Structure 1
Amino acid sequence: MSAYGGYSTTAGGGDDAGGFVAGGWGGGSQGGSQSGPKPINDESLRPVTIKQIIDAEPAYAGDASFRIDGQDVKQVTIVGMVRTISQQTTNITYKIDDGTGAIEVKQWLDADKQDSAEAAPVFKEEDYVRVWGRLKSFSNKRHIGAHVIKPVRDFNEVNYHLLEATYVHLYFTRGPPQAGGAAAGGDNNDSMFVDDGNDSRNRGYGAKAKKMYDYLLRSGNPGEGIHMQVIAREAGMSIQDVMEGAEELQSHGTIYTTMDDETFAILDR
């Protein structure tokens, strides 16, 4: 299994500590002591439960990094229910509960939208959502600075996320699956976590989702993602087909948005 990497953001995102610079993450704007590019794994995306965030250990004294299962973690994705919503002038704070714990998620508003209708919360209490964001700590209280929050349209995504977080936890604590492990359980080539060279993860997808996934795979899956208009042009699809394919792939946690809501990359497992 490769690192959950390639998750990139730009200055248009919603982080809450001024940590964005054009072209990627910058170390100088927060700590002042970091220099040079960060390792890829340092900004990799990891699916976690909220309990894992609560139990995470600080990676370094005075740093905003955390360690889960002995691995540095900064970018996380969680799935849970919105319990409370608190709207401020500059941000909206959602309290998310996934059954293992609860944590605040802060979605920061663009300055030119703070007084507009677009600044109103788009979710309501008891909605299920998926959050992609950066793990933060302020006054010894942990929260997530959200890059993207999207509704969960299929409840299977809740179960899928818990399974994926468990799989990654077991990978880091017990090591990768043994090569002969499949023999005991029979032929499990249809597993969502198995890559048998024929890319079994796209089995069962509709034609539009499979065509979009195949194109992203052939393109090399750049970390900054590929815009839907480029996908449509290069893959011979209509914009509507790309949108429908993207919705199906996102519901399975196979792709994610990067630069904006119309730019996609494969979530590398």
Structure 2
Amino acid sequence: MSGYGGYSTTSYGAAGGDNDGGFMWGSQGGGSQSAVKPINDESLRPVTIKQIIDAEPAYAGEASFRIDGLDVKQVTIVGQVRAIMQQTTNITYRIDDGTGTIEVKQWLDADKQDAASDSGPSFREEDYVRVWGRLKSFNSKRHVGAHVIKPVRDFNEVNYHLLEATYVHLFFTRGGPPQDGGMGMGGGGMAGGDDSMFVDDGNDARYRGYSQKAKKMFDYLSRSGNPTEGIHMQVISREASMTIQDVMTAAEELLSHGTIYTTMDDETFAILER
């Protein structure tokens, strides 16, 4: 299993490796480095090529990168082969996944070099492949040192990979899925703050077509008992975990639909009962 906080996924079980040492989590199976690495360093992470291009260097002078604030070294990508350049010691593939392009280098085993040159790769240009490898940089140019490259047999794998990469990105930037099974105001949802999901418990027609901010404010006013004197925006901001700007935006939307009205002043609101 590879793990990132609460997110985990089973290993892909690919066999093989290059002189980068394979991808055994928590350690390096070969090469000159033998020290055990932290699990977050060596866990296999599904990414898009754009994430690789935008990754921040983790340490000066080292081929180490950070994506979403975590060190990332082992990655898997899925994309289309745009070019194949075979050399004496390695084969370089140019891979495009729709978010960007990157070079993938697969070093040839000297003992198996003759066999590899006879058979060549099991895929051609324009084919889709999945790559497992190590994120590297040479002369300030990033590439993936491939451990394994396999052709994609089912195009659903392309869509699955993009969804998985998106899920992992959202996990680290917005938090994990709800723990209480709900998606309402419990605070356990994947999204935080004004992006939290909302359940229309009452199936009220006034909920339909509203933004998440407006729904969140309306829901708070409903649960507060909707006092006739209204509730000030500062209280709404504090109790509903919304910024003042979000409360103002939500209030504008609800006022334009005639769902709420101002009471004591222009910053105090109550639901217009119908």
RMSD between superposed Cα atoms in Å = 2.9
Q: Does the CA contact (< 8 Å) of 1:75 and 1:132 recur in 2?
A: yes
CA deviations on 1:220-244 (whole Å, 9 max, x unpaired) are: xxxxxxxxxxxxxxxxxxxxxxxxx
Structure 2 equivalent of residue 125 of structure 1: 125
> 2:29 matched to 1:29?
no
Alpha-carbon distance in structure 2 between the residues aligned to 1:38 and 1:115: 34
Amino-acid identity (%)? 77
How much does 1:123 deviate? 1.5
Matched residue pairs, number? Answer: 177
Aligned ranges for residues 235-250 of structure 1 at < 5 Å? none
Structure 1 equivalent of residue 235 of structure 2: none
Q: Does the CA contact (< 8 Å) of 1:50 and 1:78 recur in 2?
A: yes
Change (3 A) 1:146 1:70: same
Aligned ranges for residues 9-28 of structure 1 at < 5 Å? 13-16=17-20, 24-25=27-28
Alpha-carbon distance in structure 2 between the residues aligned to 1:28 and 1:88: 22
Q: Does the CA contact (< 8 Å) of 2:23 and 2:133 recur in 1?
A: no
Superposition TM-score, scaled by structure 2 size: 0.58
Superposition TM-score, scaled by structure 1 size: 0.59
Structure 2 equivalent of residue 81 of structure 1: 80
> 2:142 matched to 1:142?
yes
CA deviations on 1:211-260 (whole Å, 9 max, x unpaired) are: xxxxxxxxxxxxxxxxxxxxxxxxxxxxxxxxxxxxxxxxxxxxxxxxxx
Q: Does the CA contact (< 8 Å) of 2:27 and 2:37 recur in 1?
A: no
How much does 1:82 deviate? 0.2
Aligned ranges for residues 245-264 of structure 1 at < 5 Å? none
Alpha-carbon distance in structure 1 between the residues aligned to 2:150 and 2:162: 17
Report SS of the residue matched to 2:36: coil
Gaps of 5+ in 1: 185-269
Structure 1 equivalent of residue 260 of structure 2: none
Structure 2 equivalent of residue 40 of structure 1: 39
Aligned ranges for residues 80-119 of structure 1 at < 5 Å? 80-116=79-115, 117-118=117-118
CA deviations on 1:56-103 (whole Å, 9 max, x unpaired) are: 001111122100000100000000000000000111111000000000
Q: Does the CA contact (< 8 Å) of 1:5 and 1:41 recur in 2?
A: no
Change (3 A) 1:42 1:36: same
Which one has the largest radius of gyration? 2
Q: Does the CA contact (< 8 Å) of 2:27 and 2:35 recur in 1?
A: no
Q: Does the CA contact (< 8 Å) of 2:23 and 2:42 recur in 1?
A: no
How much does 1:9 deviate? 9.4
Structure ranking higher on relative contact order (CA contacts 8 Å, 6+ apart): 1
